[in-house]
A = this chain, B = another copy of it.
């Protein structure tokens, strides 16, 4: 799929069929995420791939914005190891770029995915840390349910001319 088309037509997918996501595709999603730019190329990210039914259900209980997590055959938790930062505070941006790559790659591969926010809500971060046993100094950023879409949301034109300013506000 063309990159401009992928960007234009990607939507959040929250309903999946029951087929699992092949390991080969999981690796391509992770490689796409890790291809993201980061501050000083610091690459502070780690990824937890989640396929165990019990864990998928626990995530859905912890994240109020992720009831669909338990019906997705795969989840990818994006987190960061703070000691890998060269430029403090940039892990949030680095991981967001990685998540966006992951979402676009999923769409390009015919999968569906949705960004469910963990950071900056402390109670979500703590709950996710507990479920996955994240060590101190590793912070949960985003949880991405992934699967084969059961129906695709229609593309949405979000261009707004009133958000564009030429040379000055």
Which A residues lie at the B interface, using CB under 8 A?
Answer: 1-8, 10, 12, 27-28, 30-32, 34-37, 39, 43, 45-52, 55, 87, 89-90, 92-93, 96-97, 99-101, 103-105, 107-109, 115, 117, 119-120, 132-135, 138, 142, 157-160, 163-169
Q: Which residues on the B side are within 8 Å of A164 (C-beta)?
A: 30, 46-47, 49
Given A1-B3, A4-B32, A92-B93, A167:B105 Cβ within 8 A: no
Give CA–CA (A160, B30) in the complex, Å: 9
Q: Which secondary structure dominates chain A's binding surface?
A: mixed
| Those 4 A-B pairs whose CB atoms lie nearest each other, nearest first | A96-B96, A3-B108, A3-B6, A100-B100
Please tell me which one of the listed residues B5, B93, B135 contacts residue A169 in the complex, with CB atoms under 8 A apart: B135
Q: Which residues on the B side are within 8 Å of A105 (C-beta)?
A: 3-4, 7
Interface CB pairs A-B, < 8 A, 30: A3-B6, A3-B7, A3-B104, A3-B105, A3-B107, A4-B109, A7-B32, A7-B35, A8-B32, A34-B158, A35-B158, A36-B100, A37-B100, A37-B115, A43-B163, A46-B165, A46-B169, A47-B164, A48-B165, A48-B166, A49-B164, A51-B167, A52-B167, A87-B117, A92-B92, A92-B93, A93-B96, A96-B100, A132-B168, A138-B169
